[in-house]
Structure 1
């Protein structure tokens, strides 16, 4: 067992702790258990930690996997290599120790992470030429404090992955730059329709002008190279094996086409948080095989098509959190393989027709910001999203339009998910016509007050409809007649008081969110079901059919559903009581008619419901028969009492007659009195 000195052990622990924190700062994926670390204490410098680690656990590899994870394909399996590589993580504190530390590194090192832990006022410089002895180095990460400087004096020909954060990149005066005889514009022939001499009549015409640039002095190529040398602009020319380049927060505010010239193997480029204000023409033509490009969190205010010219293999473009105000046919060059475009957090107010005519293969598009509303409209029968015939997901936040009409989403025949939020007063007839593949429609938080009965006409594959938190006062009858596949309808947070009686007849309905509405409860709600209104859809569960060997042969994801009593709809006309309490205890609505007496084939919950209804009906019948018996007894008692009183009166009359007869004299005495007279 090898014992380490206490000071060296403390440094090792500090380096491991810093490495864990830096890895947590990057986008997190599902991590596997970290393999056992093997420390190379014999040849590793004092301020470094050397270990064998899987390549896919490095921060740069996890970032690439995060960028490409949503595509669903295994296009980037080269970044999930299971083999281990030799990694060194080093702390850089003082300028004098840097060169000695780099000289002491093992020459068979494959990955190197340099961390500058000093204050922002302390400067530290690293030259690329000092890394040349590391002949097997393929991954380099340099993280500084804002004052750390990386001098590119010699190219790193064998480097494949580079990550620079808070580092000032500068080129040395002795760096040899490429000597080209012509600019990339000499071979570029594309022009948008508005710049062609003969404009086709089918081309939409609208007023769109940019400010004219001031006169630019034309200089020779030799003078241009000298200017670049004077400006110390970094250049990665000669890094021919580079596949991933990540430059974040490095004050790289200006780009030039010679900066990435010759990077034919570069697939992923990220230039976030560099305060880039404008893309120079042909800025990325040196890396024509880019698959993903991120320019997010910069200050780009105008997008001109020459800035992205030549990227014919680009698949992912991230322009989020910039200062773009409009998009037109002058914004993008031909991007035939672009699948995902992220333009969120840009103050875009207008999208003119023809903007996406050069992006025919796009599958996913994100737009919108909270500060400025994006206007949805049509231009002379042209939609704003024409030619996006393969688009599957369209998400726009903070839209504005007085009426969502037919033609706004013209041409989106393959759209499967549409998410809108903002200000939409009404949805008119056939607003979503042509979207035969639409499965999810989210119009929540749009302020919709009017909904046409035929708004969803033709959308027959709809599975989820979200109209929550709007101003709807009624749902048109027949709105969901064509939507026989719908499984979830969300109507919470509106002003609804009634629903059409056919609403709960949808054959595949599993969730109907109706809470937070002022319902006027009546017996018309007798067909409402708590298993639908109180349900919450949980995560999907994978269910598989196994073969005879127990191996999964066919698998599919099925959503689980749970009940939540907090989601129960309530009656505004019964002091906010539950709909089902009012129907059962206060309205006493008639039970549904059962034509057949047998409950065979019915679900268990239905059998229990019918049993309870029969018991209630039996109790009601028993109460009715008991009341009739009591009435008959009462009538009998009244009749008997009447008979007794009649007999009593007769007896009293007979008794009075007898007393009267007894008081009168007899007839013989009367005769004797008369004779005497």
Structure 2
């Protein structure tokens, strides 16, 4: 039950009405008793509603319903951690609307002392700016969650809030006070950091021989402690030193464009940090060295132009890194420090043109990588003997947008042995043979909207576990024979939106296929299409649903996730040479092709006990070998069994009456 505070009146009558309403809200009758008219308090915990200010709404709220909790739970699900979900059922929350500084000074003394969550929403204008000192919140020593939102508000950090666990600041200004106590270090974090990339460890001569590419030099800008303190006094950068219990910190849209290595010092419990939309242009060395237990870091929607490995140095527990929507143009081995536990990296909406070798050598456990921007095309290629994604041996998902390459060549995806999902968008003219070699775990391959016009016959060789293949909305005019001979687990093939006119019969021989999208192609219909099946081409896969087998009590015994397939007649392929009529209508009504023949793969194309079909290139080789070895041989005739011998033909002719010669008939007529 939620209990809301009521705006205090100025008259005694209003006060009396307020007291009566509060009394009715916190009490209820006892049912099923002779004392039905007697009222008693609820068993649930109650707020000190009498002290709730008039500009606030006080209520008991589930922690998972708080704005910051929704983000916390979202990030927790991203890296498979549900510890944040185990929160108390109810949280004592006060949500206050503040329009001026005077209103804040009036209501802060009336806030309930046992408050656990406070949300301040500033709705004033530029002339009446709000300034909240952290020292004014110290009497609320049971406060665990603090949120301040609103353009024009300022949070002055003059005293640490050591009891706070979750903090969310949106579109406000953060300012430090002169009386704020800052830590004094005897040495910089660089004194204990030993990692250096190969280009900085090896001599120039040896490095140029072993690594033929030269990398950009990004020297770190580390100053003395006295110089740094002088800069802090000039810029009045905030510091969260002393907020030792803080676990989640969001600073979004607060114009925090400058960071320093003391800002997050001492936050040993901090695990989620969000610094989005702050116009940050550069990460100073060891910017997050005071929060080494970070699991999630978001620097999205800023103005970062380059990355140096010292900026993210020391984050050995980091699992999620979001750098989307910045201004990064190139990545090299100097971009990232060792991130041994990184699971997800999001680099989308960065104008990255080149990925130099060694970029991801220190991200060996990464499972998901996203890249691509509309501002610049990503040059997808190999560098000498190096691939662009070397050492990402545990990667499961790779999504690349706006790639650009004339030919997707072999070696581009070298090292991605465990990749399961690959999605490409951009401009790719052709797919070379064995381009996906070694990707034995690949299950979904999406190369749509890339302008592909040529496919090698062996482009998908070795990808034997593929279940989903999309080549839709390209410029394909021909599908090579035997293209999918090695993909016996395919369930869905999408070829819609191309320039195809004919199709090999092998597409309808796949044993597990459920969907073959062929619409939006200029098909030239003929009786060769009589093996097409409408229950494969006119269907679409629906969303995944959970189906369970239940016992007599309705409890699930076993469950599985299935994707239902639904019929959609709008997906029917159509004939360009028959005025756009349906392929199946033309076959049935206009071509009169007769009964549909059931195609079976020839027995000589099967090998082993499993009956797996040979790939097309192997069929060609076997045919050539047999033609070379073929020699004339003596044929022995058996009259009792052979029906194609000369003796058999003559005997059959002697048993039939022969017509008279033409000359004899003419002489008789004469």
Identify the TM-score tier after normalising by the shorter chain: 0.7 to 0.9
For 1:79, the equivalent position in structure 2 comes to 85
Cross-structure match for 1:330: 334
Tell me the CA shift for residue 551 of structure 1. 3.1
| Aligned 1:618-633 pairs, distance under 5 A | none
CA offsets 1:499-558 (integer angstroms, 9 cap, x no match): 001211111111111001010101111111111111011111212234576532321101
Q: Which ranges in structure 2 are unaligned for 5 or more consecutive residues?
A: 19-43, 600-670
1: CA distance, partners of 2:528 / 2:45: 69
Q: 1:160, CA displacement in angstroms?
A: 0.3
Map of 2:262 onto structure 1:
258
Question: 1:472 and 2:476 equivalent?
Answer: yes
2:640 aligns to what? none
Cα offset, 1:212, TM superposition = 6.9
Structure 1 position 445, deviation (Å): 0.5
SS at structure 1 position matched to 2:581: coil
Note if contact 2:5-2:57 (Cα within 8 Å) is conserved in structure 1: no
Mapped pair 1:369 → 2:377: no
**Secondary structure, in 3 states, of the residue corresponding to 1:42?**
helix
Q: 2:597 and 2:231 mapped to 1: Cα distance?
A: 90
Q: Summarize the alignment of residues 187-336 of structure 1 with structure 2, pairs less than 5 Å apart.
A: 187-198=192-203, 199=206, 203-210=210-217, 219=224, 221-336=225-340
- Say whether the 8 Å CA contact 2:76–2:84 is kept in structure 1: no
Return closer, same or farther for 1:242/1:190 CA change in 2, 3 Å cut-off. same
User: 2 CA distance for matches of 1:47 and 1:513?
Assistant: 59
1:169 paired residue number: 174
Matching residue of 2:646: none
- C-alpha separation between the residues in 1 aligned to 2:369 and 2:311? 20
Cα shift readout 1:455-493 (whole Å, capped 9, x = no counterpart):
100100000000001010111111111111111100001
- Give 1 or 2 for the bigger CA radius of gyration: 1
> 2:537 corresponds to which residue?
533
1:197 Cα deviation (Å)? 2.8
Deviation at 1:371, TM superposition (A): 1.6
Structure 1 or 2: larger helix share?
1
Is the 1:574–1:582 contact (alpha carbons within 8 Å) kept by the matching residues of 2? yes
Aligned pair count reads 564
Aligned equivalents of 1:226 and 1:153: distance in 2? 18
Taking only aligned residues, the RMSD between alpha carbons, in angstroms, comes to: 2.3
CA–CA separation in structure 1 for the residues paired with 2:595 and 2:8: 82
The 3-state SS of whatever aligns with 2:311 is helix
Evaluate the alpha carbon distance shift between residue 497 and residue 140 of structure 1 in structure 2; reply closer, same or farther with a 3 A threshold.
Answer: same
| Per-residue deviation, 1:353 | 0.8
Distance in 1 of aligned mates of 2:164 and 2:154: 19
Instruction: Provide the rounded CA distance (Å) in 2 between the counterparts of 1:446 and 1:315.
Output: 32
Equivalence for 2:156: 151
Of residues 428, 433, 436, the one that matches 2:432 is 428
Give the SS at the match of 2:131: strand
Secondary structure, counterpart of 1:258 in structure 2: coil
In structure 2, what is the equivalent of residue 114 of structure 1? 120
Distance in 2 (alpha carbons) for counterparts of 1:82 and 1:3: 22
CA contact (8 A) 1:328 1:354 kept: yes
Deviation of residue 78 (structure 1)? 2.2
For the residues of structure 1 that align with 2:7 and 2:450, how far apart are their CA atoms?
Answer: 65
Q: Compare 82-91 and 573-582 and name the one that shifted more.
A: 82-91
Residue 514, structure 1, aligned to residue 503, structure 2: no
Determine the C-alpha separation between the residues in 2 that align with 1:267 and 1:217: 26
Which of residues 122, 132, 138 is equivalent to 2:138? Answer: 132
Could you tell me the TM-score, scaled by structure 2's length? 0.81
**Residue segments in structure 1 that go unaligned for 5+ positions in a row:** 13-35, 596-677
* CA distance 1:562–1:225, shift in 2 (3 Å): same
Contact 1:107–1:133 (CA under 8 A) maintained in structure 2: yes
Q: How many angstroms does 1:7 deviate by? A: 7.3
Q: For residues 628-666 of structure 1, what are the alpha-carbon distances to aligned partners after superposition, in whole Å with 9 as ceiling and x for unaligned?
A: xxxxxxxxxxxxxxxxxxxxxxxxxxxxxxxxxxxxxxx
In the alignment, the residues of structure 2 paired with residue 143 and residue 2 of structure 1 have an alpha-carbon distance, to the nearest angstrom, of 21
